[in-house]
Amino acid sequence: MNPKNVRQNVASGKVNGQWGLEKFHGAIIPKFWFKVDVANVHMPELPLMHPNEIDDHVIVGDVVGTCTLWN
């Protein structure tokens, strides 16, 4: 997501974890990825960069109010 380019805004939220230091679903966050708390979704039908089929999180709309990994 590029905050300066409105056409690329997919979601908005807050970074809540970074690679190598914190965990996401029990595993260390991979290098160059961030854990993001998703507050609003602008393009709900786009596939997630890091889907989690166990929690049925496959598209951006699935993670509103929760968190996901973002590269």
Per-residue model confidence (pLDDT) at position 61 = 94
Q: Compute the distance between CA of residue 63 and CA of residue 32 in angstroms, rounded to an integer.
A: 20
- What token pair was written down for 20? 């190598």
pTM exceeds 0.85, yes or no: no
Q: Which amino acid is at 27?
A: A
Binned average pLDDT, 10 residues per bin, the chain of 71 residues: 66 90 90 93 90 88 92 87
Per-residue model confidence (pLDDT) at position 65 = 92
